[in-house]
Structure 1
Amino acid sequence: MGIELELHSARPARKGPARDTFLRGSYEHGEALAAALSGLDRHGSGKLGWVDPYGDTLFNEQEAEVARQEAAALAEGCGDARHKAALLDLAGLLDPCAATPGSYVWFLGD
């Protein structure tokens, strides 16, 4: 199980040419990211608990702003080097998304 990440300039098409909006992706920390997010409460106040490790999840720029802060806090308190690297990589995609109206981060679960 893993979660791949993609940054898009607009809402990506779930079917068809999602590459039209694709800016960059992250595919090397999938399993570590899924593990780092696995203990989060889906019903809590954060956004990262909403990420479905088995399906796809989209965050717009407002959701990315909240998730960016959450990922940074999780990375700071993380003792596992692989999980920390995955969370910092996630924050690296959430930052430009939060700063760009109309953009999205797409979490692609297994």
Structure 2
Amino acid sequence: MGIELALYTGRPHRGRGAPALLRGSYHHGEALAAALAAHTHPTDQRLGRVDPYGDTLFNEQDAGAALAETTALLARCTTEDHRAAVLDLAELLAACARTPGSWLCFVGD
């Protein structure tokens, strides 16, 4: 099970006029899923609501709120793989938060 990340210029959808992919992260899927599962709580944090089996979308406001959670999440990571995954996630959350109209898609396995 893994979670890949995709940052789009707008809300992702299929078909004509679909938003452009700005950037993706495909190297830390299993480590990201494990870090989120071990160190987040579904009712307390936005990152805890990421579905490891389906897609979860964050708009720029969601991304900004979730970015604040990554500092504590990073401090709780116990492996270098988890730390690298969370750092990559933080980078994409920051990019989404500062890009008007963008959406970050968590693609569950």
Report whether the alignment pairs 1:89 with 2:88. yes
Percent identity over paired residues: 56
Structure 2 residue ranges without an equivalent (≥5): none
Question: Which amino acid in the other structure matches residue 5 of structure 1?
Answer: L
Q: Deviations for 1:14-34, whole angstroms, at most 9, x for unmatched residues?
A: x33686421010000000000
In structure 2, what residue type is equivalent to 1:42? P
Shift of 1:54: 0.2
SS of 1:38's equivalent? helix
In structure 2, give the amino acid aligned to 1:57. Answer: T
User: Match for 1:55: what amino acid?
Assistant: G
Length-normalised TM-score, structure 2 = 0.91
Aligned length: 108
Cα distance change of structure 1 residues 37 and 96 upon mapping to structure 2, 3 Å threshold: same
Partner in structure 1 of residue 60 of structure 2:
61
Q: What secondary structure, in the 3-state scheme, does the structure 1 residue paired with 2:93 have? A: helix
TM-score normalised by length of structure 1: 0.90
Structure 2 equivalent of residue 2 of structure 1: 2
Q: 1:101 maps to what in 2?
A: 100
1:50 matched to which residue of 2?
49
How large is the RMSD of aligned CA atoms in angstroms?
1.5
**Structure 1: unaligned runs, 5 residues or longer:** none
Cα deviation 1:81-102 (Å, max 9, x = unaligned): 1000000000110001111221
